[in-house]
Amino acid sequence: MVDYSFDRDDYRFRVDDRRRSDRERVKEDNRERREDRDERESMQRNRDMRVSLQDIINDPEIVMMDSGDIRRGRSSVPLFPPVNTRPKRRKKRKNDKTLSKAFKEANKRLRTKKGKLRKGKTQSDIAKLAHRIKKRM
């Protein structure tokens, strides 16, 4: 009989390993089913949205107002009420103004008199410079 310097049982396939792999397989199947279900639901939502938009476009009663609201006929009730009607906060307005000024300055620096970008510069460079300028303001 041969003497082994290791335990031969350690190298045999164990029942615990088989159970673990079964559990992993079940988890994987559940994840795949969930992903398939989510994909089907999103496709259904997209299909419903397409149908409703198609109905809106083809309906002669529906009119788009100058403000961009979609209404049925000339009625005053909008089909889709505005989502966010909250006014901008003072801090946000101030931030927008300073960033606007910074972009004007950055464009002035990185564009030629004709309005072309300087050689080797991109719009990304303009945005980066504008944010740097805004930080200093």
Are 64 and 98 in the same domain? Answer: no
- Which helix or strand (DSSP H or E) is residue 70 part of? strand 70-72
Would residue 16 count as lying in a domain?
yes
Q: Give the pLDDT mean for 39-56.
A: 71
Nearest of 76, 78, 39 to residue 56 by alpha carbon = 78
Q: Give the pLDDT mean for 8-33.
A: 73
Are 131 and 94 in the same domain? Answer: yes
Are 19 and 62 in the same domain? Answer: yes
The tokens describing 43, both together, are 């496709």
The model carries a pTM of 0.39
pLDDT of residue 117: 94
Portion of the chain with pLDDT greater than 90, in percent: 31
What is the number of structural domains in the chain? Answer: 2
Are 25 and 66 in the same domain? Answer: yes
Q: What are phi and psi of 134, to 5 degrees?
A: -60, -40
Q: Give the pLDDT mean for 80-106.
A: 85
Would residue 84 count as lying in a domain?
no
Are 65 and 24 in the same domain? Answer: yes
Rounded to the nearest integer, the mean pLDDT of the chain is 79
- How would you class 109 by CB atoms within 10 Å of its CB: exposed for 0-12, middle for 13-18, buried for 19 or more? middle
Domain of 25, in residue numbers = 12-72
Contact 72, 62 (CB under 8 A): yes
pLDDT at 59 over 70: yes
Last residue of a domain, one of 46, 72, 98: 72
Query: Which residues have C-beta within 8 Å of that of residue 71, sequence separation ≥ 6?
Result: 62, 63, 64, 65, 77, 78, 79
